[in-house]
Chain A
């Protein structure tokens, strides 16, 4: 039964990917906490880890922070898919001596200044509005829907064949006065604003 076998391979690949999550700074125990729901939660455990990792490869302009030790603020706009995973992923983490702060914006109009803005799937239709709102701010926008990067988002995390796929729009990042490490750009698929 080939279909069955493919499924098993897919599952095994997924378990392996689970382990990979630790690369992204997520404790293995966190994965094991929810063994019954591997489909939904690990995706956001992975994405939470990615958000943390992005902070390592992106440089904000000096005026983006009030003080050298000011935290990196991560905002989530729309229906929050992380639950507590984002807090778990960022607990006790620092990047260049900066801790993390998390803000949630239910509606695009709620968006305030932050350093990383995660656009949840629920905001698929409102992407242009969201981008318009943060136009002049040095904000790293991160999405999870097909057209996000091409629409002007800086980074996009997609899942293809159970594998994470990164899209980067250097043009958009430049517009937001952000410097994305070449290593990250190399790891990602580069797209342009359409």
Chain B
């Protein structure tokens, strides 16, 4: 099983090459084994044949020497086998089986010469070939000729064949290596291209890549399918981006309409309000003596509400105007600015025990007037919602976080429930009634708008009865305003 896992985890190129190598290797090895076996069998047969013919010839040549009892010439004939190096021993036997003449190769033992002939024919025995050949003369058997040969021709032939097999194996191996590389490309190249395409899509999210492939097989289908899928995704992405752009443009358009509407509304509301205010004043100044106590009190209520409404309209105008204002970036000494704003607000409630805690603040980049407005709104809120505390503590701080600075204003006032935190920054959204704490519900909305114009974020944290903390961030390089603020600046 580990071998299969090894194969499974290989790259396709190596896998294909390995498979081709294994399969053709088995085929070539099988063929070589068959070749060697066949060669061994046939060279055995050839050796037997060759020695049989030799034995027949020698036997035929030596009949006269045996018949006429010429041991010397018999020894000469038998000795002629010396030229055949593989023959260890040769012997002539008389009709009665008596050893008549013999030949012995150097190194062959005399004991290898049988004292008497064995059965006619040939046989392999102890790594040697033994032949007993009858001697015939005039239809009569006159003796036996014996040859004992080693198998050196067989081994030599085997050596040659093994050499051939080696050459074939090496040649086939190289050819397979070369061809598997060339042919394998037909399969692996499309796969590699596909893998590269997939990587480009997965890593770079680049849906514009296309994989080339012209083959008409399954791989070609796969590549076509992949390309089609990419086209679809790309088309959908583009449609989505277009829809988003359209939507944003439409939202901007609506916002602008809304802003100009609210601006003109609040502007137009001022004129009748001024009339009401003016006439109420005239009524008090000119006709006060003709009014009874009730009448004067009613007029006071009218005056008071007129003032509130004026405030409301002013706030709304400021908020609307903010949409049109351009951010004029400069380096701001945030600590100094916060102190100044606090100093301006402090006299409004001179009798209250109020404490400011503040460290040095890092300098920020932004529109000085707008940031001053942010501090003003946050500090006035902090002072307002902590008026029941003794002492009321307002804390201003900051910390660096990555490429931005987080500023905060904290108080120990009434706080709020976190579940309503999302409502804090909506226009006219209030968590407390105007009767408890005066205000128009525009302040935090304005803060949010300013901070967002600077490319920052704003959020609040609080707990009922334990105070609230408002955070806003300013990017370190607000010199390059965000796309959104640039859009709005236009």
> Which of A16, A20, A181, A187 has its CB near the most chain B CB atoms (within 10 A)?
A187
**In the complex the two chains form, what is the Cα distance from A183 to B70 in whole Å?**
11
Q: At the interface with chain A, which of B17-25, B138-146, B149-157, B437-445?
A: B138-146
Which of B60, B68, B98 is in CB contact (< 8 Å) with A187?
B68
- Chain A residue numbers with a CB within 8 Å of B61 are 183, 186
Minimum CB–CB distance from A184 to chain B (whole Å) comes to: 5
> Roughly how many angstroms separate A141 CA and B72 CA in the complex, as a whole number?
24
Whether A103 is near chain B, meaning CB under 8 Å from some CB there, is no
**Which segment, of A21-29, A130-138, A144-152, faces chain B?**
A21-29
Q: Does B406 contact A (CB under 8 A)?
A: no
User: Contacting A186 at CB < 8 Å: which of B67, B73, B137?
Assistant: B73
Q: A163-B69, A164-B69 are in contact. Are A23 and B64 (CB under 8 A)?
A: no
A80-104 contact mask (Cβ, 8 Å, vs B): 1 or 0: 0000000000000001100000000
What CA separation (Å) do A24 and B95 show in the bound complex? 9
A57 interface hit (Cβ, 8 Å) = yes
A183 engages B69 (CB within 8 Å): no
Closest chain B CB from A93 CB (angstroms): 9
Could you name 24 residue pairs across A and B whose Cβ atoms are closer than 8 Å? A17-B69, A19-B94, A20-B69, A20-B94, A20-B98, A22-B95, A23-B67, A50-B68, A53-B67, A53-B137, A95-B138, A165-B70, A166-B68, A166-B70, A181-B64, A183-B61, A183-B65, A186-B65, A187-B64, A187-B67, A187-B70, A188-B68, A188-B70, A188-B73
Supposing A17-B69, A22-B96, A23-B94 touch, asked if A183 and B64 sit within 8 A by C-beta, the answer is: yes
User: Is A23 a contact of B73 with CB atoms below 8 Å?
Assistant: no
Secondary structure at chain B's binding surface: helix, strand, loop or mixed?
A: mixed
Q: Which residues of A sit under 8 angstroms from B143, Cβ to Cβ?
A: 23
Chain B residue numbers with a CB within 8 Å of A164 are 68-70
Indicate with 1 or 0, residue by residue over B369-389, a CB within 8 angstroms of chain A CB atoms: 000000000000000000000
Q: How far is the CA of A187 from the CA of B101 in the complex (A)?
A: 13
B299: which A residues are within 8 A, CB to CB? Answer: none
- The digit string for B75-105, where 1 denotes a CB below 8 A from any CB of A, is 0010000000000000000111010000000
- Closest B-chain residue to A95, C-beta based? B138
In the complex, whether B133 has a CB less than 8 A from a CB of chain A is no
Alpha-carbon distance between A50 and B65 when the two chains are bound, in angstroms: 12
A126 at the interface (CB under 8 A from B): no
In the complex the two chains form, what is the Cα distance from A163 to B137 in whole Å?
22
Q: Which residues of A contact B405 (CB under 8 A)?
A: none
A12 lies within 8 A of chain B by Cβ: no
CB of B316 within 8 A of chain A? no
- Does B66 reach chain A (CB closer than 8 Å)? yes
Q: Which of A23, A50, A184 has most chain B Cβ within 10 Å?
A: A23
Nearest Cβ distance between residue B139 and chain A, in whole angstroms? 9
Assembly CA distance A193 to B137 (angstroms): 29
With A and B bound together, what is the CA distance between A25 and B71 in angstroms? 18
CA distance A20 to B67 in the complex (A): 8
Q: Is there contact, CB below 8 Å, between A187 and B96?
A: no
> Does A129 sit within 8 A of B, measured CB to CB?
no
In Å, the complex CA distance between A24 and B96 comes to 12
A184 and B68 within 8 A (CB): yes
A56 at the interface (CB under 8 A from B): yes
- Asked whether B320 is an interface residue with its Cβ less than 8 Å from the other chain, the reply is no
Q: Is the interface of A mostly helix, strand, loop or mixed?
A: helix
Q: Which residues of A contact B64 (CB under 8 A)?
A: 53, 57, 181, 183-184, 186-187
Contact A23 B65 (CB under 8 A): no
We find that the number of chain A residues with CB closer than 8 angstroms to chain B is: 25
Tell whether A19 pairs with B68 under 8 Å between CB atoms, given A183-B63, A186-B77: no
A23-B66, A24-B67 in contact; A187/B95 too (CB < 8 A)?
no
- Contacts of B139-185 to chain A: CB distance below 8 A: 140, 142-143
0/1 per residue, A142-170, Cβ < 8 Å to B?
A: 00000000000000000000011110000
State whether B138 touches A56 (Cβ < 8 A): yes
- Residues of chain A lying within 8 A (CB to CB) of residue B69: 17, 20, 23-24, 46, 163-164
A residues less than 8 Å from B96 (CB atoms): 19, 22
Question: Which residue in chain A gives the minimum CB-CB distance to B70?
Answer: A187
Tell me the chain B residues, 117-140 only, with Cβ under 8 Å from chain A. 137-138, 140
- For chain A, residues 16 to 51, give those with C-beta under 8 angstroms from any C-beta of chain B: 16-17, 19-20, 22-25, 46, 50
Convert B351-381 into 0s and 1s, putting 1 for each residue whose CB lies closer than 8 angstroms to a CB of A. 0000000000000000000000000000000
Q: Which residues of chain B have C-beta atoms less than 8 A from A165's C-beta?
A: 70
The contact string, 1 if C-beta is below 8 Å from chain B, for chain A 112-125, is: 00000000000000
Chain B residues, Cβ within 8 Å of A184: 64, 68
Within the complex, the shortest CB–CB distance from B450 to chain A, in Å, comes to 135
How distant is the Cα of A188 from the Cα of B60 in the complex, in angstroms? 16
Report the minimal beta-carbon distance from B102 to chain A, rounded to whole angstroms: 15
The 8 closest A-B pairs by CB, nearest first: A183-B64, A56-B138, A187-B64, A187-B70, A187-B65, A184-B64, A187-B73, A53-B67
Cα distance A25–B137 in the bound complex, in angstroms: 11
For A55, give the chain B residue with the smallest CB separation: B138
